C-alpha cells in the first residue's frame, strides 16, 4: 500500500515561514490535500489539489508538489497556526485514501 511520510514535528518562530513536508513514492504524480487540526477540533481542509485554497483559508497557506515530496508552506506564521497538519492522497492501490502520520506545528 502507498505510504506518506511526514516529520513528527516542526517548530517555527512567529512571523517566519513554516514548511511541512509529505514524502511518498512519485507523489508528484498524485493530487495532495492538506488538513489542519487544532486540539479538540475536527480537521479543516487548508489545501486541495496540491495548491488550491478553500475559501476562508488565508493566502499565507500554500502548497506545492513535485517528485517525491509535497510541501505545505505557511508564511508569516501566527500563534493560531499551531496545530497538527495531515497530508492525504487518493491512491488506486489497496485503501483509496491514504493519510500521512501528521506533523505537529509548534509556534515558538
| CA separation for the pair 6, 82 (Å, rounded) | 16
Single out the residue of 24, 100, 105, 107 in contact with another protein (rule: CB under 8 A).
Answer: 100
Question: By CB under 8 A, is residue 38 in contact with another protein?
Answer: no
Q: In the complex, what is the shortest distance from the CB of residue 83 to another protein, in angstroms, rounded to a whole number?
A: 13
Read out DSSP for 87-101? Answer: EEEE-SSSSSEEE--
| CA separation for the pair 39, 27 (Å, rounded) | 28
Question: By CB under 8 A, is residue 33 in contact with another protein?
Answer: yes
Give the chain's length. Answer: 108
- On whether the CB atoms of residues 10 and 18 are closer than 8 A, the answer is yes
Question: By CB under 8 A, is residue 50 in contact with another protein?
Answer: no
Question: By CB under 8 A, is residue 3 in contact with another protein?
Answer: no
Query: Any idea which residue has 489497496 for its cell?
Result: 94
Residue 56 DSSP class: T
Q: In the complex, what is the shortest distance from the CB of residue 49 to another protein, in angstroms, rounded to a whole number?
A: 8
Q: In the complex, what is the shortest distance from the CB of residue 99 to another protein, in angstroms, rounded to a whole number?
A: 5
Query: Which residues of this protein are in contact with another protein, per CB under 8 A?
Result: 31, 33, 35, 37, 41-45, 48-49, 54, 84, 86, 88, 90, 94-102
Amino acid at each position: 500500500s502507498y505510504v506518506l511520510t511526514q516529520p513528527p514535528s516542526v517548530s517555527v518562530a512567529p512571523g517566519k515561514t513554516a514548511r511541512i513536508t509529505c514524502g511518498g513514492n512519485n507523489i508528484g504524480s498524485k493530487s495532495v490535500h492538506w488538513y489542519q487540526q487544532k486540539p479538540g477540533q475536527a480537521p479543516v481542509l487548508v489545501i486541495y489539489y496540491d495548491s488550491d485554497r478553500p475559501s476562508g483559508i488565508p493566502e499565507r497557506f500554500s502548497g506545492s508538489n513535485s517528485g517525491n515530496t509535497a510541501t505545505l508552506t505557511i508564511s508569516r506564521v501566527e500563534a493560531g497556526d499551531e496545530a497538527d497538519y495531515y497530508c492525504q492522497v487518493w491512491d488506486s492501490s489497496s485503501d483509496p485514501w491514504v493519510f500521512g502520520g501528521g506533523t505537529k506545528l509548534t509556534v515558538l
